Amino acid sequence: MTNTKRARDIQVRSTHLEVDDIISKLRALRVASLESRKRHDRPPKLPSRKILANVAEGLSAALFPNRLGSSELADEGIDHYVGHILNVTLRDLMVQIQHELHYNSSLETLSCEDQKKSIVITQAFAKRLPEIRVLLDSDIIAAYEGDPAARNVDEVLVCYPGIMAITHYRLAHELHNLGVPLIARMISEIAHSVTGIEIHPGAQIGGSFFIDHGTGVVIGETTIIGQNVRLYQAVTLGAKRFPVDENGALVKGNLRHPIVEDDVVIYAGATILGRITIGRGSTIGGNVWLTHSVPPGSNISQAPTPHKKSM
């Protein structure tokens, strides 16, 4: 180590930053926040985003052990590997479910009822994993058949951001339906932060779903998507407006996102808003702004720009 570097390290270690006042002010803000939400001094833990990211990765490996699991697996060891991954991952998930149930209860400690409920939810979720695998297989085939650049289904599984996003969504959707919406939202948002694709876990999406390229896609909470639907990048399936109640607060839970029927293709940049229906077999062109329903077999494109008359 040079003399200059040694002197710099000594200076850094000897420097005392005055943070006591900052700590005190942050404590006061925390206490005020807890009081405003009628929480006790030591609020229950929230589910851990880091642990849930590991849970989603573990579940993906259990679903596709040959491609997303260990690279050193032998055929005779796959079932043992899947069993081990599931035991570890589902146990971790159950603890996170307990955190969400405890948080929602406002009780000082986790109740026996919520502890039992966490086991029931975890077991019910685990039983849905084979059905999730079937749906994901259909999504992977749809991507392979829908993209001429895809050389094989393995490439689709390990490379395509749309498949990562839909995998996280399908796991999260089951958890959302089982009564742990915070964990479901966190799992979906983990994929969103990596892929740029935002799918609310409350949305209903049929099989053979393909998001090509994907960046900037938004699918809202009450969206319903049928079978064999394809979206391209920057498509928004969103709400047209946000109604408020008599106190000016947003009304939550109303049906405000589109219904997209089977065999629909929506091209890049299209924005589809409100509780409208896109009829079966329709094609929505790029950059279209659509706020009204269209019948089956429609072909919607941007309005042509009038040509200026030459002088």
The C-alpha atoms of residue 59 and residue 301 are separated, in whole angstroms, by 40
**Residue ranges of domains in the chain, CATH in brackets:** 31-197 (1.10.3130.10), 203-305 (2.160.10.10)
Condensed to tens digits (0 to 9), the pLDDT of residues 111-170 reads 999 999 999 999 999 999 999 999 999 999 999 999 999 999 999 999 999 999 999 999
Contact 221, 203 (CB under 8 A): yes
**pTM given for the model:** 0.86
Q: Which of 20-24, 218-222, 243-247, 252-256 has the lowest mean pLDDT?
A: 243-247
The separation between the first and the last C-alpha atoms of the chain, rounded to the nearest angstrom, is 77
Say yes or no to pLDDT of 6 above 50.
yes
For 180-215, how does the pLDDT look when each residue is reduced to its tens digit (9 = 90+)? 999 999 999 999 999 999 999 999 999 999 999 999
Q: What is the pLDDT of residue 74?
A: 74
pLDDT in tens, 86-126: 999 999 999 999 999 999 998 889 999 999 999 999 999 99
Which has more confidence, 7 or 56? 56
Q: Nearest-5° angle of CA 223, CA 279, CA 195? A: 40
pLDDT (tens digit, 9 = 90+) per residue, 273-289?
A: 999 999 999 999 999 99
Structure-token pair, residue 153: 């289904």
Q: How confident is the model at residue 311 (pLDDT cuts 50, 70, 90)?
A: very low
The conformation of residue 143, written as its DSSP 8-state character, comes to: H
